[in-house]
Structure 1
Amino acid sequence: MSERRHDTSPGPTGGTTAEEPHKLPIRTLIAASVGNAVEWFDWTVYATFSIYFATQIFSAENESLAFIGTFATYALAFFFRPLGGVLLGRYADLRGRKQAMLLTITLMAGGSLVIAILPTYETVGWLAPILLLLARIAQGMSLGGEVSNASAYLAEIAPPARRGRYSSFFYISTGTAVLIASLLGALLAVSLTDEQLSSWGWRIPFLIGALLGVVGIWLRRDMAETEQYEENAEKARALKNPLLTTVREHPKAVGQLIGFTLLNTLSYYVFFSAMTPYAVNANGIDDSVVFWALSAGTALFVVLQYPFGWAADRFGRKPQMLVWSGAMAVLIVPVSTLVSPGAGFGSMLVVFCFGLGLYAMMASIAPAIMSELFPTELRGLGIGAWYNLTVAVFGGTAPLVIQYLGDAGRSDWFFIYVAAGAAITFLVTLSLPETKNSVLR
């Protein structure tokens, strides 16, 4: 993949060279993004296969309690993301993006390996769920650090005029990982019996996740540190109370990050997680119909990343974000009415392509937008702390909101909640400066 750029560096005779092709550093972009792929592969695998290993890790005598324990462990990891974002974001500002990214992917791969080889409750009793909890805490902290550090890295290595395109690789990896995890779940469900899946089959995807982590470590071992970090490392080390500094000296940036991460999180949760049980359980739509529609929507999400990254570099970040948040505010409720008893593949395809196609407008440039808010010496910590806190508050509580509304017989009100969040994000986006072609602070 190559593009044209204007190179004004001195030529052999002291003049300037003609326009030369700009080559994307594909290996570096993949290495920077692979951690996010591993992270979300493992998170998706946990959600997909939890129904099979719940009674293996928790006591099988009370199946309901086993599922509650498994899902609570999943949710708890969300709330360790802010801690990981603070600690690993600060580590990246002090020790470098590369070292932090190696640490995050090692934590995630290690957590996945621990889950893959966990002894059962029948073998070691309560040690099994304790080990599961520790593995998930490590993965939660890892994910909190990975998002901020990989975002900063991608933004800092990108030429100013191509930061959107570089950033798009972040969610290309995420969407691809989620799609692969979903297809793997379908393949194992077809290939193995429920008894085999519950006995040992659920361990296979976690082993694959650990192996992907090893590949990621291998890819990252030769990554170069960013020049921006090296030039500002002393500033980062000299900071006192850096978390307080983000609020005291950059309150507007913190508020803006929280404002658009609110809808970023709800968009991800609605279409990658909540819509499936809402369609299947609340509306009785065939699960295979929902699965294939989600797969098509996810593929569209991946395909649109680079074009939207290019568009943001050409036309600006704000227009895309305003279209995304404005359309979600106005259309999410009407579109959700397509998810009704008897809905077929066409209706579900429209729902997922609408949601994930719009979400790609934001996801493709999220690392660029977040990185453009903070100076280099605070970038890892600033993104890590406030992005992950927002995700924990709105993503971590989303299942509770849905459960509460479902118990009240008003599951559809959740989409009104999302529309309200989209309206807030739209207003926050209006306050953002246009940053295309800008040099990072």
Structure 2
Amino acid sequence: MDVPVQRGESDALSLAATGTRPFDARVIVVATIGNALEWFDFTVFSFFAAIIAKQFFPSDNATASLLAAWTTFGVGFLTRPLGGIILGNYADRHGRKSALVVTISLMALGVGIIAFSPTYAQIGIFAPILMLIGRFLQGFSAGGEVGSATAFLVEHAPVERRGVYGSFQMISQACSMLLGALTGVALTQFLSPEQLDQFGWRIPFMLGLLIVPVGLYVRSKLDESPVFKDHAKRLPTAKSPFLESIVIHWRAILAGFGLTVYGTIGTYIFYYFMPSYATKTLGIPFSSSVIASCCAAIAYIAATFASGLVSDAVGRKKPMMISTVLSLLISYPLFVLLTGHPTLPVLILVQCSLMATLGLFQGSYCAFVCELFPAHVRSTGMAIGYNFAVMIFGGFAGAIATLLIKVTEDKLAVVYYGLFGCVVGFVTIALLKDRSKQPLM
């Protein structure tokens, strides 16, 4: 399936096509710092969900309390599409740089509310309300961050390096996931349970806030995307990037949605759900699951960078197709091996294999999706497909996997959801045209 561009095709050529500019690390930092903060906070919230539940959602029923905390956490997913639409429109009309300053400011406000909110014992019902507002702002800003930051990143890249530049968006997520897990483990080792309840769980959120001034500074100093500036000089901005996206570029949005389904299910099942699956379903010690997850994050980072590098040489479709085919072939046998031999070495082997395979897809994903859209709707179009897929298939991944295991009474049921994502990713990428060698529109 070729995704056509129907506005300014003949002359909408990227300034990044010449490939004469050197690798710019500043662009990487500017584009990924907000994404890194979001995923760091995502990880530590997951790690300390039980403590947050006690502090902000007290109940005689521990399960109900924890459920309330996870529901509040889930609000961040529900507000992602709204943030993607509103902030994506802003980025396509006023520039990526301006939008990135707005998103990190909103994200900082959300993190700050979570970090410093008084508990239920101190202010009563206003405590969970504040936590809800904090997660709302986090999700809203993250929804706008992904489209704006990825467009900024890939649009700054020379044509022969777009894959490598784009891969750092996913690498930043993995590094933040790894850092968040290590921070959580370190705090549980050095602080007592009482200290964690009193103040320890707030420390990671406070640490996350420290990078906000850096993010604001570097985002205010770096130039606007050359592709956006060139397009703004030659063509008027879209009156409504959202409406134009869904009316004219709906096929590109569906393509981005399908590609994101595989990536988000893989991330949430093979990385985030695996510790819970390993400990609760297979009886593997929690400490072992943390070690395996850290190893898996490293494998994912290496494979993601390799994919971006290779995609610049051979095109995006090849590594992405290989990834989906490998996942379809190895996922079920690996889970059979793990359920039959639930040990730390096997868990490391399984999780590293799955995440490395996923990395082959994710490293090429950002550049590929950027190349589907023209500049005047790129942030909005990307954000719509990505955020709706993450909300539906990522936010509820753990619940769906748990439900499948309970209904089927089959420990292997979790892999079926992962295979579903593989099929969607395979079909989607097979139908799309590779535009990796062409200038950005």
TM-score, normalisation: structure 2: 0.92
The 3-state SS of whatever aligns with 1:364 is helix
Note if contact 1:338-1:348 (Cα within 8 Å) is conserved in structure 2: no
CA displacement at 1:181 relative to structure 2:
0.7
**Which residue of the partner structure matches residue 423 of structure 2?**
423
Note if contact 1:308-1:360 (Cα within 8 Å) is conserved in structure 2: yes
**Which residue of the partner structure matches residue 25 of structure 1?**
24
**Which residue of the partner structure matches residue 59 of structure 1?**
58
Note if contact 1:284-1:342 (Cα within 8 Å) is conserved in structure 2: no
CA displacement at 1:301 relative to structure 2:
1.5
Confirm or deny that 1:127 pairs with 2:126: yes
Note if contact 1:81-1:142 (Cα within 8 Å) is conserved in structure 2: yes
RMSD of aligned Cα (Å): 1.9
**Which residue of the partner structure matches residue 394 of structure 2?**
395
Letter in 2 for 1:305: T
1:53–1:421 distance in 2 versus 1, CA, 3 Å: closer
226-235 or 385-394, which deviates more = 226-235
**Which residue of the partner structure matches residue 414 of structure 2?**
414
**Which residue of the partner structure matches residue 9 of structure 1?**
none
Give the distance between the partners of 1:141 and 1:268, measured in 2 at CA.
20
Give the distance between the partners of 1:382 and 1:312, measured in 2 at CA.
22
CA displacement at 1:50 relative to structure 2:
1.4
Give the distance between the partners of 1:306 and 1:316, measured in 2 at CA.
14
CA displacement at 1:309 relative to structure 2:
1.2
For residues 191-215 of structure 1, what are the alpha-carbon distances to aligned partners after superposition, in whole Å with 9 as ceiling and x for unaligned? 0111110111111011011112222
For residues 126-173 of structure 1, what are the alpha-carbon distances to aligned partners after superposition, in whole Å with 9 as ceiling and x for unaligned? 100000000000000111111111110111111111101111221221
Alignment of 1:268-283 (within 5 A): 268-283=267-282
Aligned-residue identity in percent: 33
Note if contact 2:320-2:360 (Cα within 8 Å) is conserved in structure 1: yes
CA displacement at 1:24 relative to structure 2:
1.2
109-118 or 412-421, which deviates more = 412-421
Unpaired runs of 5+ in structure 2? 1-18
TM-score, normalisation: structure 1: 0.92
- In the comparison of the two structures, how many residue pairs are matched? 423
**Which residue of the partner structure matches residue 221 of structure 1?**
220
Give the distance between the partners of 1:22 and 1:241, measured in 2 at CA.
33
Give the distance between the partners of 1:173 and 1:349, measured in 2 at CA.
22
CA displacement at 1:216 relative to structure 2:
1.7
For residues 16-65 of structure 1, what are the alpha-carbon distances to aligned partners after superposition, in whole Å with 9 as ceiling and x for unaligned? xxxx9963111221221111111100111111111112111122544332
Letter in 1 for 2:321: L
Unpaired runs of 5+ in structure 1? 1-19
Alignment of 1:84-123 (within 5 A): 84-123=83-122
Give the distance between the partners of 2:323 and 2:299, measured in 1 at CA.
16
**Which residue of the partner structure matches residue 44 of structure 1?**
43
Give the distance between the partners of 2:414 and 2:298, measured in 1 at CA.
25
Note if contact 1:96-1:225 (Cα within 8 Å) is conserved in structure 2: yes
Letter in 2 for 1:292: I
Alignment of 1:297-336 (within 5 A): 297-336=296-335
The 3-state SS of whatever aligns with 2:333 is helix
For residues 322-355 of structure 1, what are the alpha-carbon distances to aligned partners after superposition, in whole Å with 9 as ceiling and x for unaligned? 0111111222111112322652222111111111
Letter in 1 for 2:49: S
The 3-state SS of whatever aligns with 1:23 is coil
**Which residue of the partner structure matches residue 166 of structure 1?**
165
402-411 or 135-144, which deviates more = 402-411
Note if contact 2:92-2:237 (Cα within 8 Å) is conserved in structure 1: no
Alignment of 1:191-202 (within 5 A): 191-202=190-201
**Which residue of the partner structure matches residue 343 of structure 2?**
344
Give the distance between the partners of 2:411 and 2:92, measured in 1 at CA.
43
The 3-state SS of whatever aligns with 1:436 is coil
Letter in 2 for 1:86: I
The 3-state SS of whatever aligns with 1:337 is helix
1:345–1:411 distance in 2 versus 1, CA, 3 Å: closer
